[in-house]
Amino acid sequence: MSSSAAGVRVDRTASHTWSLFADWCSATGHVALPARPEALAEFLADHPGQLGTHRRRVTAINAVHRRAGLPEPGRAHAVHAALATRRHQRLQAVADILEKRIRQLPVGGWPQGLFGRRDALILTLVAAGLTYTEIAALRRGDMRRQGHELVIDSARPWRLGPAGESAEHGPVPVYSRWARVQEILDGFPNARMLAHYFELPPEPVADRPAPVLDAGAAERPLIVSIDRWGYTPLHAKPMSAQSIAAITSAHLSGEASAHRRRTPLPTTGMETAPRPARDAPQEQTALDPRYYRRGVTARRRAAAWLTDVVDELDGVADRAEQLLEQLAAIVGDATEAPAEYDESPSINRG
């Protein structure tokens, strides 16, 4: 569309808005030009619409007053308060719907509990007023529990969780459930172990202490992507703002995906083979609770050490090649030298 055509359309929209406002003023006994700010605020209240629609109406009415050399009524505090009230009402209506959706999301079962905990945190942050871009930029270290409140240390500080919130579905328990999932993945990033955790009865989150994050974990993204099997990337990547918006819209419209219950696939075929019957049950070995954490830590440390092995092997290969070249030079010198012979008189053996 050309700029001239766009200008004509904008002028027609502004003209229609002014005609609507002038007709409303005539019907209600108000003066359209110059209009009082209170009249403009009442006009917006009598004509419901989206926040963007109201802003365009105020801009059009202000433009007519500006061309006439009159004060713009849309710049008054009353109009700004009316717009803020409309926005607050719209956010409150959305928050009420999201609160119902949060109560319906599962917290257990595999993998629906994993998706339910992540989506519950997304909807909680959206209902609080955070934008999709702000949610996508959050790191795990930005969140902390302070009593019965959830504190977000971001570009715009937030405190969520007043005393009237639900004990099970408020910001603090919703965040604590998702933080528990990420804490488990820190110890052993294995979907089978995580699935085993979700098959157990959900643990109470009120008694669990707040997670202690090291410097690396604090910088990892708070909201991460999950594939349909429940697997998260080993190196966590933040979910995009567009994906967060799509998830929120799906829950608002009631069209969110229903994740089917799945059984993690065995890593080898031997795990599915029937085990021979035993006369007496064998006692299970009790492992140290930190057994898996120590194993994963040792493997990560070994992986860091092995990154230098290639450089060491390259150095050994270079040294061996130098030695071979020196040996070849020595052998070549020995071949080119004249043969030595014994100049002593021969011994008569006859």
State residue 252's pLDDT score.
86
**CA-angle at 222, arms to 102 and 298, nearest 5°:** 125
State residue 10's pLDDT score.
44
**CA-angle at 261, arms to 258 and 264, nearest 5°:** 135
As a whole number of angstroms, the distance between CA 179 and CA 118 comes to 9
> pLDDT tens digits, residue range 232-258?
876 778 899 999 999 998 888 888 877
State residue 303's pLDDT score.
66
Q: What is the three-state SS of 180-200?
A: HHHHHHHHCCCHHHHHHHHHC
- Is 215 exposed, middle or buried, given 0-12, 13-18 or 19+ CB atoms closer than 10 A? exposed
- In the chain, % helix, strand, coil (3-state, to 5) comes to 55, 5, 40
Could you tell me if residue 237 is inside a domain?
A: yes
155 shares its domain with 41? no
CATH number of the domain to which 31 belongs = 1.10.150.130
Residue corresponding to tokens 């992540």 = 118
Could you tell me if residue 202 is inside a domain?
A: yes
| 189-212 exposure pattern, b = at least 16 Cβ within 10 A, e = fewer | bbbeebbebbeeeeeebeeeeebe
179 shares its domain with 82? no
Other C-beta atoms lying within 10 Å of the C-beta of residue 263: 8
68 shares its domain with 131? no
125 shares its domain with 23? no
Could you tell me if residue 330 is inside a domain?
A: no
Residue corresponding to tokens 């061309």 = 67
As a whole number of angstroms, the distance between CA 10 and CA 5 comes to 9
50 shares its domain with 124? no
As a whole number of angstroms, the distance between CA 8 and CA 176 comes to 54
State residue 273's pLDDT score.
41
How far CA 190 is from CA of 8, 193, 264, 326, in Å, comes to 60, 5, 11, 52
164 shares its domain with 237? yes
Helix (H, G, I), strand (E, B) or coil at 337: coil
As a whole number of angstroms, the distance between CA 119 and CA 124 comes to 8
> pLDDT tens digits, residue range 198-221?
888 877 766 667 778 888 889 999
Instruction: Kindly give, in sequence order, each residue whose CB lies less than 8 Å from that of residue 43, ignoring residues fewer than 6 positions away.
Output: 21, 24, 25, 57
Q: Which residues of the chain have pLDDT under 70?
A: 1-11, 76-91, 162-167, 205-208, 234, 260-291, 303-311, 313, 331-350
Whether the pTM exceeds 0.85: the reply is no
Could you tell me if residue 335 is inside a domain?
A: no
State residue 3's pLDDT score.
39
Of 209, 232, 252, the one marking the end of a domain is 252
33 shares its domain with 158? no
Could you tell me if residue 16 is inside a domain?
A: yes
Cβ proximity of 260 and 230 under 8 Å: no
Of 65, 91, 117, the one marking the end of a domain is 91
State residue 304's pLDDT score.
66
- Is 50 exposed, middle or buried, given 0-12, 13-18 or 19+ CB atoms closer than 10 A? exposed
Could you tell me if residue 279 is inside a domain?
A: no
State residue 147's pLDDT score.
79
Could you tell me if residue 290 is inside a domain?
A: no
42 shares its domain with 121? no
As a whole number of angstroms, the distance between CA 212 and CA 226 comes to 24
149 shares its domain with 177? yes
111 shares its domain with 179? yes
Q: How many domains does the chain have?
A: 2
Could you tell me if residue 240 is inside a domain?
A: yes
Of 56, 91, 126, the one marking the end of a domain is 91
65 shares its domain with 169? no
Containing H/E element for 146? Answer: strand 143-146
71 shares its domain with 28? yes
Other C-beta atoms lying within 10 Å of the C-beta of residue 180: 17
State residue 199's pLDDT score.
83
By residue range, what is the domain housing residue 41?
A: 3-91
